[in-house]
Amino acid sequence: MIRLDKVLSHLGYGSRKEVKEIIRKGYVTVNGEVISKDDTKIDEENDEVLVFDDKIEYDKFIYLMLNKPSGYVSATFDNKLPTVLDLIEGYEKRGLFPVGRLDIDTYGLLLITNDGMLAHKMLSPKYHVDKKYYLEFDGDFKEENYKKFEDGIILDDGYKCMSAKFELIDKNKGYITIKEGKFHQVKRMMEALNMTVTFLKRVSFGALNLDDILKYGEYRKLTEEEIESLK
């Protein structure tokens, strides 16, 4: 058994003081009964707890796969534009954030979590996590470009990229797999070879593949196997 105010506070419903207030005001039910004593204890495995009529999720960490649409910023807050978190419902105050960034006009796989350790690991240059993108582009893809991607493209600011893999699937369509995440990296790599990206969508991130079932703007929880594969 564990104190309810402690659980709710850990889950992000507020400080211990704020949570006690919510309980005292009668906004919390345990197994259907309104409770008002702030020292109530619950059985995390079996009790059903509702806060403001919403069932609480006990999982400490949340892992969501989002199929990002265009027009959303990969951030937790923006003054003017909608963020990817505006697409996520029911996890308010859980400290969610996107792992890395996709440009506002980029689509596809974005991991949303509150697990800072995992995010750090997936983004750290030390681990070289593969990111695979589907892309469409203007310009001619020349045979010699395969080797250039493999050897490391030099960007406009002089940075030499790590080795990348390009797969051409049609005259102006392909996949590119990169191991790092510099600002506008794929677009700039293509520009360096006189091609312009017209559509970009991330299809995988490390061991995680974008689920085809998700339409743009939709998300789902990762399965246990997917979470394990990332760790």
Residue placing its CB nearer to ligand URA in the complex, 4 or 98: 98
Contacts of 92 (CB under 8 A, 6+ apart): 12
Per-residue x/- marks for ligand URA, 133-152, CB under 6 A?
Answer: --------------------
185 lies in the binding site for ligand URA (CB under 6 A): yes
Per-residue x/- marks for ligand URA, 47-86, CB under 6 A?
Answer: ----------------------------------------
Residue placing its CB nearer to ligand URA in the complex, 11 or 197: 197
Give the interface segment with ligand URA, choosing from 45-53, 75-83, 110-118, 185-193 (CB under 6 A): 185-193
Residue placing its CB nearer to ligand URA in the complex, 40 or 198: 198
Residue 164 contacts residue 189 (beta carbons within 8 Å): yes
Contacts with ligand URA in 99-128 (CB under 6 A)? 102-103, 106
Q: Which of 38, 47, 78, 103 is catalytic?
A: 103
200 lies in the binding site for ligand URA (CB under 6 A): yes
Tell the burial category of 115 from Cβ atoms under 10 Å away from its Cβ (0-12, 13-18, 19+): buried
List Cα–Cα distances, 13 to 6, 30, 96, 143, 220, in angstroms.
10, 16, 13, 56, 22
Residue placing its CB nearer to ligand URA in the complex, 50 or 203: 203
CA distance 84 to 97: 9
Q: List, in sequence order, every beta strand (DSSP E) within the chain.
A: 2-3, 28-30, 33-34, 41-42, 49-51, 54-55, 63-68, 97-98, 107-113, 131-138, 165-170, 173-178, 196-205, 208-209, 219-221
Report how many residues bind ligand URA under the rule CB under 6 A: 8
Residue placing its CB nearer to ligand URA in the complex, 106 or 204: 106
Strand-pairing partners, residue 97, are 113
151 assigned to active site: no
Locus of tokens 């310009």: 139
179 lies in the binding site for ligand URA (CB under 6 A): no
184 lies in the binding site for ligand URA (CB under 6 A): yes
187 lies in the binding site for ligand URA (CB under 6 A): yes
Q: Is the dihedral of CA 203, 190, 173, 164 positive or negative?
A: negative
Q: Which residues are catalytic?
A: 103
Task: Please report, as ranges, the residues that interact with ligand URA according to CB under 6 A.
Answer: 102-103, 106, 184-187, 200
